[in-house]
Amino acid sequence: MASFAWMSSPQYLAQVGHGFGACSVVLTAALFSLALGAGWAPILVVLGAGIALAALKEFVFDVASWGEGDSWADSAMDFGFYVLGAAVGTGLAALALHLAPR
């Protein structure tokens, strides 16, 4: 029988949350873009702003002693999962824009 003890790890839960959070923000922008027929512009604006805000949060707030006090390695891993989630969301947005009726 398989062991799923790794799923109870708080680090695993945090990385899944970072990835799904970034993915959902990009996909929400894609839904509005499809509904309004606006193309890539809203998606790219949200993607750029999201990555900039994630970097600010991880490398300024979380590393600071008055913030969470994380290490640079923890913040880099968190930021990496933000970027990974945003990349998956951008890929799904590209697929949605490609398949959308014109």
- pLDDT band of 6, cuts 50, 70, 90: low
The mean pLDDT value for 36-41 works out to 94
Q: How many domains does the chain have?
A: 1
- Predicted TM-score (pTM) of the model is 0.87
Q: Report the pLDDT averaged over residues 61-78.
A: 85
Q: Looking at the domain assignment, is residue 6 inside a domain?
A: no
Distance separating alpha carbons of residues 69 and 17, to the nearest angstrom: 20
How much is the pLDDT for 1? 67
Residues of the domain holding 84: 11-99
Structure tokens at 91: 């890929």
Q: Does 1 fall in a domain?
A: no
Q: Is residue 3 part of a domain?
A: no
- Does 42 map to a domain? yes
**18 Cβ contact partners less than 8 Å away, ≥ 6 residues apart:** 78, 81, 82, 85
